[in-house]
Amino acid sequence: MGRLILEYLEGNRIYVCKKCRIHLTNFQNRISKNFKGGTGQAYLFEQGINYHVGLPVDKDLLTGKHTVQDLMCNGCCEIIGWKYIKAFRDSEKYKEGKIIIEKYFIEKIKWK
């Protein structure tokens, strides 16, 4: 991997990694709080920054089969959620390209 370049977000409600405090996404990108991950509640976001992804794998989730990638924080490499690459059911297609971050791994802060 190359040099670590950290990005910062605009807006005054930022979600940061609980462990290393890096910016991950913000309130404007939050689509839903109604998701579940391994640690409990999880949020669906349009996009984020300062993360990298693992290899795509097919998983059978509560809402059917999906191709997903693990989402890892660039600051501490913790797996904080996943990215939806492909949904096999039409009703779930809206999630493609979007990310899930588990609430357990993030904290909302006021910025600026």
**Which stretches of the chain bind Zn ion, using CB under 5 A?**
17, 19-20, 73, 75-76
For Zn ion, give the closer residue by CB, 21 or 33. Answer: 21
**Residue 66 CB, nearest approach to Zn ion (Å):** 24
**Least Cβ distance, residue 5 to Zn ion (angstroms):** 15
CA distances (Å), origin 9, targets 4, 13, 23, 26, 77:
16, 9, 7, 7, 20
Nearest alpha-carbon partner for 20 in 51, 54, 48: 51
Nearest-approach distance from CB 71 to Zn ion, in angstroms? 11
Distance CA 39, CA 29 (A): 21
Output 15 or 35, the one with its CB closest to Zn ion: 15
35 vs 75, beta carbon nearer Zn ion: 75
